[in-house]
Chains A and B, each alone.
Chain A
Amino acid sequence: MTNAGYIAAGYGITAVALISYVWRVLARGRRITAHVPEERRRWM
């Protein structure tokens, strides 16, 4: 594969950024849900 380095960097950086963002959102969501009373955990 030509330009393998650029391709690996592109996919790698994207994967790291997306996964860490998803992880942050989900973990924070889990943590903060515990601080919200049950009857207010409705999203609309």
Chain B
Amino acid sequence: MFRDALLVAGKDLRIEVRSKVVLNQIGPFSLVVLLLFAFALDPDRGFLQEATPGLFWIAVLLSALVVVQRSYALESVDAGRDALRLSGLDPAGVFLGKAGASFVVLMALEVGLIIGVRLMYGASLRGWPLLLVTTLTATVGLVAAGTIYGALAAGLRVRETLLPLLFLPVVAPVMIGGTRAFGAALDGSSAEGWRWCGLLGTFAVAYVALGMLLFESLLEDS
């Protein structure tokens, strides 16, 4: 299973490295989102610093959506889905592989976003261990849920419009948990934040487990 996962993740990441879609399109997109927030909220009055945790996670959520769409767009050409199905790889392994590749990509984007909010919003990055753990657990949850919903929407004529509707309400706990934990870390009240990390961890474990269980039924259809 883990060998299959590495195989699939390696394939996705190799395509990413060669096509540079993440570098040339998705990364700049997440920076555009950060700029838009500055336009929407007056940057002079400290709104941006106050709202940094929420704005950061909205930017992450939108980026995750694009990353998931990209991850399945890779399979839609040259009948990649059929190839995956016929490859005989363990479905749980395929799930872990696709989620793993998305995890690497999304983490890279989040590093960019953290640097972005540090420089552009003037957010101070106190309580970095909490920030790091929050980011890791929340990202695992996001890519696990995103990979399942991406597979659910894949192959449908309405996939581009259906995916956000399915995916975004489901990750409400990640949005709330991530924002609160970040808020706690930036305020220096980390005890509160670790509790939210627990919730994020629960979400991540639940969706990784569900994905490994259910991916088989999603791979078997065309």
A touching B, CB within 8 angstroms: no
Give the interface of A toward B (CB within 8 A).
none
Give the interface of B toward A (CB within 8 A).
none
